[in-house]
Structure 1
């Protein structure tokens, strides 16, 4: 299997993983809404969907169009970061349980989660997103996609984290500052 075909399979697997996330997210959003969940920050959500879809499409399109020579050390180190970001993402998902979803929905009366990776930092899932946004395209030296996604994602996360912090501040025992390790 060529490196380009292997990269295509990797991106397809990440796409399947994203679809699995959406299934979990939809179920969990329903759980939150049944318990009086309040959604905020809806305005940025369509942009987030387009941006994350664009990451996958852009990485593949760039790799097939440019067909770069990819140093093994780059491919393997970036693959390790992609796998680490997936592990962190699913640690976040399992820690939050039914409260995790891709939207900003909080259930009034429930204190913020302070376990798992949330013991160490306030927004660990976004760390996973940032690392993956750089690493996934660079597995096959798609540096244009990595740069464009990273810049657009930085703008999106500025809006998203503000919306999420404001929503979390409405919960009991809310602390918006970073938890102490």
Structure 2
């Protein structure tokens, strides 16, 4: 029962985020923004869809049980959700699931972005690990944590290059 509630809420949250991302993308493109890293985006989307399929399959088909430390994992997960909302609201219209860059824009340095350059990626990594562990889906936790590390090794450099080339990112973060 808890699994069905949590997974339903998370999937609904992701769908709402896609609507927000599309709206933000349209606004940014109307301001002259461009997309970077478009080649890896479909792979990232497929990875996230596969994560949910794997999580559902492992929990249901392999009859995984709730972790003995599920309360701790749930608190970590809920804390990550609060941090996720903080990231999204801090970036406002600049938040997106794609790498959409508005040339000449000042990079956001408020909220968690004061301290961490990519806090949302830390949160996603936490979610991809904690959510499956909460429900005993160890294979999903391992596989998708590793896939996410690989994805971020592609995505973060693409995002940083685009930000350095088109915004004040280099000067704000004192980069090379």
The TM-score bracket by the shorter chain reads: over 0.9
Aligned to 1:107: 102
TM-score, length of structure 1 as denominator length = 0.91
CA RMSD of aligned residues (A): 1.6
Alignment of 1:131-146 (within 5 A): 131-146=126-141
Aligned to 1:81: 76
1:8 to 4, 10, 28: 4
Aligned to 1:58: 54
Could you tell me whether the CA contact under 8 Å between 1:8 and 1:60 is conserved in 2?
no
1:127 to 122, 125, 145: 122
Aligned residue for 1:79, secondary structure, equals helix
How many pairs does the alignment contain?
Answer: 174
Residue 174 (structure 1) aligned with residue 172 (structure 2):
no
Residue 91 (structure 1) aligned with residue 86 (structure 2):
yes
2:27 to 25, 28, 31: 31
Moved more, 163-172 or 64-73: 64-73
Could you tell me whether the CA contact under 8 Å between 1:122 and 1:177 is conserved in 2?
no
Aligned to 2:43: 47
Gaps of 5+ in 2: none
How much does 1:177 deviate?
8.7
Question: Per the alignment, do residues 176 and 160 of structure 1 end up closer, same or farther by CA in structure 2, a change over 3 Å counting?
Answer: farther
Distance 1:178 1:107 in 2: 18
Distance 1:69 1:38 in 2: 45
Residue 153 (structure 1) aligned with residue 148 (structure 2):
yes
TM-score, length of structure 2 as denominator length = 0.93
How much does 1:152 deviate?
0.6
How much does 1:126 deviate?
0.1
Gaps of 5+ in 1: none
Could you tell me whether the CA contact under 8 Å between 2:107 and 2:172 is conserved in 1?
no
Please identify runs of 4+ aligned residues in structure 1 that moved more than 4 A.
Answer: 176-179
Moved more, 125-134 or 166-175: 166-175
